[in-house]
Amino acid sequence: MLFKGGTVYTPEGARHADVLVADGVITRVEPGLEPSGRVVDARGLYVLPGGVDVHVHSRDPGFPEKEDFASLTEAAAAGGVTVVVDMPNTVPAVDSAGVLEAKAALARSKARVDFGLWGLIRSSSTAQDLEEMAAAGAVGFKAYLAYSFSLSRKQVLYSPGVDDPDLEAPADYGTLARLAPAVARLGLPLAIHAEDPTVLAAFQRPLLTYGDLLESRPPEAEAVALSAAAAVAREAGVHLHVAHLSSALGLQTAEDAMRVGTELTLETCPQFLLLSADDFDRVGSAMKMLPPIRTAADRAALVDGLRRGVISIVSTDHAPHTDEEKSRSFAEAPAGSPGVQTLYLSCLQLAKDMGDVWLAPRWVSEAPARLVGLEQSKGAIAPGYDADIALVDPKGTTTVAAHEMRSRQRHSVMAGRRFDFAIREVFLRGELVGATHGRMVRPALVFG
C-alpha cells in the first residue's frame, strides 16, 4: 500500500514523500516510490501521524448512557485520533490488575482505534497493586488529589468528601511520596489531577454562575498541587505528568519545578487554548469542567507555554455527560465535556495561527506517544512505525456541528467554530478506520 504525493510530517520535519506500508507497518518514506499494491492518492493533502489522546474518559464500564468504547473511538477516528488512553475513573475504578484486564477485554470487543489504559492510585493502593497493573499493561498511574473514592460503588467521586465511612480519602501527597519509588522503578509516568483539596475547601461556595465556578477552583489549587507533587516526584526520580493544565500560575509553578530538574510533562487541552471565561454566555454549560476554562490572561499564558515548548502535549479530557445532564441548571450540570473529535483540527488551527502548522502533530501525536511509552510504534511517520495516518486537507474547512459529533453526546464547546482544515481519511495500521478492531497498546519499556 502506498500513500502517494502528499506532504508528510516526519520526525525530521515536513517533506514531499510517498509512504509505503506493508502489513500495517510503515516501511519506507521517500519521494518517487513505485506502487506494488493499493495506492492512496494523497496529492494536496497532509499525511500526519494519527493523534494519541492520552486523556479520555470512555465511561466504559459504568455509564453507557454517557459513552462507551464504541462511540468514544468512533469520535476519535472521525477526528484523526488513532490511539485513546482511557482514564481509570470508570466503574469499577481501575485500581487492580483484575479490573484493568476486564476493562481491556471489554474495550477490545468495541474499540475502532487502538487504546491504552491508565491505572488509578487510591490512598489505600500498594506498590504491589501498581506492579500488577503495570504487568497487565497500564501505561502509567493517575492520582485524583481532590476526589474521594466510594468503597461501595468502587467509584471516584468529584468531591474530597466528608465524614462518611463509605468514602475513602483522596490520594494525597503522602500517598504520592509512599508510591512514587515504585512508579519510578516501573519506569512509568505518575499523572495527577492537580487541584489541592485544602485550597478548594477554602473557596467552596454554591455554584450558581460561571463566576462562582472560577472562584471555587482558583489557580492556587492547581499551583499548590503541582508544586507539592513535583517535589515528591523529583525526590523519587519519577516522571510527573500534569493533566489538563489550566492556569498561568500553574504553568509558572511547573516551569519553576522544571528549572530545578524535575522530570515533568505538561498537558493542556484545546478548550483552554481556544476559549476563555468570556465565552460562557455563548457556549453555556458545555463549558462546565474541572479545572475550569479561566481568564483570557490564563489562555494567553498557556498558548505561549505551548509556543515555547514548555507545554508539550495537547490532549482533550474528553469527559462526556449526557446532553440532558448538561442541560440542567448550572449548579446541577456535571463537569466535563466531549472533545476527542475536535482535537486535531483545533491544534492544526492553533499551530497555523502561530505560524508553524507542523507543531500540531508534535503536540497531538509525537509527544503524547512518548509519554505513554509508545515512542517506538506510534506518533511518527517513519519506517517501523504503525501506519496510523490522518489525511488532512489544508484547503478544506470544517465547521463543527453538533449533529456531526460521533460521541454518544452531541454538545461541544467547539460547536459553531470554523477550522481551516478538513480530515479526509484516517487509517489504523494501514486499514481505513472501521475496517479493523482497535488493539490495546502497552508501554515498550515496562520493567519485568
Contact residues toward ligand NCD (CB under 6 A) are 57, 89, 193, 289-290, 317, 319, 335-336
Task: Give dist(CA 304, CA 298) in Å, integer.
Answer: 10
Whose cell is 515512542? That residue is: 375
217 binds Zn ion (CB under 5 A): no
Residue closer to Zn ion (CB basis): 79 or 88? 88
Q: Which stretch binds Zn ion (CB under 5 A): 56-64, 187-195, 306-314, 372-380?
A: 187-195
Strand partners, 264: 240
Residue closer to ligand NCD (CB basis): 93 or 254? 93
Residue closer to ligand NCD (CB basis): 57 or 326? 57
- Binding site partner of 289, from Zn ion, ligand NCD, none, Cβ cut-off 5-8 A by kind: ligand NCD
Q: If we measure between CA atoms, which residue out of 163, 129, 162, 164 comes closest to residue 143?
A: 129
How many Cα neighbours within 13 Å face the side chain of 254?
30
Residue closer to ligand NCD (CB basis): 291 or 430? 291
CB of 285 to ligand NCD, least distance (A): 12
DSSP labels for 295-347? -HHHHHHHHHHHHTTSS-EE---B----HHHHTS-TTTSPS-B--GGGHHHHH
321 binds Zn ion (CB under 5 A): no
Whether 370 and 109 have beta carbons less than 8 Å apart is answered as no
Residue closer to ligand NCD (CB basis): 290 or 414? 290
CB of 243 to Zn ion, least distance (A): 5
- Binding site partner of 298, from Zn ion, ligand NCD, none, Cβ cut-off 5-8 A by kind: none
- Binding site partner of 335, from ligand NCD, Zn ion, none, Cβ cut-off 5-8 A by kind: ligand NCD
Report in angstroms the alpha-carbon separations of 202 from 111, 115, 125, 280, 443. Answer: 42, 38, 27, 25, 39
Q: Which stretch binds Zn ion (CB under 5 A): 112-120, 191-199, 223-231, 254-262?
A: 191-199
CB of 97 to Zn ion, least distance (A): 23
Task: Give dist(CA 56, CA 76) in Å, integer.
Answer: 10
7 contact partners, CB below 8 Å, separation of at least 6: 14, 15, 16, 45, 46, 47
CB of 91 to ligand NCD, least distance (A): 11
- Binding site partner of 72, from ligand NCD, Zn ion, none, Cβ cut-off 5-8 A by kind: none
Residue closer to ligand NCD (CB basis): 20 or 143? 143
Reduced to 3 states (helix: H, G, I; strand: E, B; else coil), residue 349 is helix
Residue 35 CB: number of other CB atoms within 10 A?
13
The one-letter amino acid at 424: R
Report in angstroms the alpha-carbon separations of 391 from 169, 224, 237, 340. Answer: 46, 41, 39, 17
Give me the residue whose beta carbon is nearest to ligand NCD. Answer: 336
193 binds Zn ion (CB under 5 A): yes
Task: Give dist(CA 282, CA 239) in Å, integer.
Answer: 39
- Binding site partner of 190, from Zn ion, ligand NCD, none, Cβ cut-off 5-8 A by kind: none
First to last CA, the chain: 36
Give me the residue whose beta carbon is nearest to Zn ion. Answer: 193
Residue closer to ligand NCD (CB basis): 228 or 290? 290
Residue closer to Zn ion (CB basis): 203 or 358? 203
CB of 292 to ligand NCD, least distance (A): 9
Q: Which stretch binds Zn ion (CB under 5 A): 7-15, 23-31, 190-198, 256-264?
A: 190-198
Binding positions for Zn ion, rule: CB under 5 A: 193
